[in-house]
Amino acid sequence: MHTLTLEQLRATTDAGGVAGVTLKAQGGAFYVKVDTRNGDEAVLAKARSSEPRSFGNPAQALTLLRGLGLAVGSFDVQDWNPEDRATVRTRPDRAEALKRTHEAAEHDKWFRAQVEQGLAEADDPNTKWVPHDVVKDDMQRQREALKARIAGGNK
C-alpha cells in the first residue's frame, strides 16, 4: 500500500484523483485510507516520513478530510479498541503549555481584580491618603534598620 502526505493528498483531491476515503480504526487509533481513481490504495502518512499518520480522535481526522473537500467517505471500526491507548500519541509538552496558559489566565484575572480594587479605593472619598514625605521617611527608616541588621549579622 502506498502512502500520501497531506500535501500529496491535497493535490490528488484537487486533481480529482480520489475515488473514496475510509476512516479505519486499528487499536485505539484511526487512519485515513484513500482509494484513488487509478485503483491504488494509499494511507495518509506523516509529513516527513512514510509512517502512517494516526489520529487518537476521529473528529480530528474528519475535520482534516472536510478541510480538503472530502466530505463523503466510509468508516471501518471493526478493529477499534477504545481502551487501547498505547497507539495514541501523547503530548506532554502541550499539556504543560496548556497548564501555563491556564495559570497565566488566573494571574491575569487576579491582577485585574487588584487593579479594580485599587481604582475603587482611590475613588472612595473616605480613603485616607498618606503624604509622599511620610512614605519616604518610613522607607528610609526601614532601610536603615535592615542595613543595621545585616551589618550586625556579618560580625
SS (H, E, C) the chain: CEEECHHHHHHHHHCCCEEEEEEEEEECEEEEEEEECCCCEEEEECCCCCCECCECCHHHHHHHHHHCCCCCCEEEEEEECCCCCCCCCCCHHHHHHHHHHHHHHHHHHHHHHHHHHHHHHHHCCCCCCCCHHHHHHHHHHHHHHHHHHHHHHCC
The whole-number pLDDT of residue 86 equals 62
The whole-number pLDDT of residue 134 equals 97
Of 32, 78, 34, 73, nearest to 55 (Cα)? Answer: 32
Over 90: is that where the pLDDT of 41 sits? Answer: yes
The whole-number pLDDT of residue 1 equals 77
Cα–Cα distances (Å) from 70 to 15, 61, 66, in that order, read 13, 11, 5
List pLDDT tens digits, range 105-127.
999 999 999 999 999 999 999 99
Query: What's the chain's average pLDDT?
Result: 91
List pLDDT tens digits, range 74-102.
999 999 888 876 655 567 788 889 999 99
List pLDDT tens digits, range 54-68.
998 899 999 999 999
The whole-number pLDDT of residue 88 equals 54
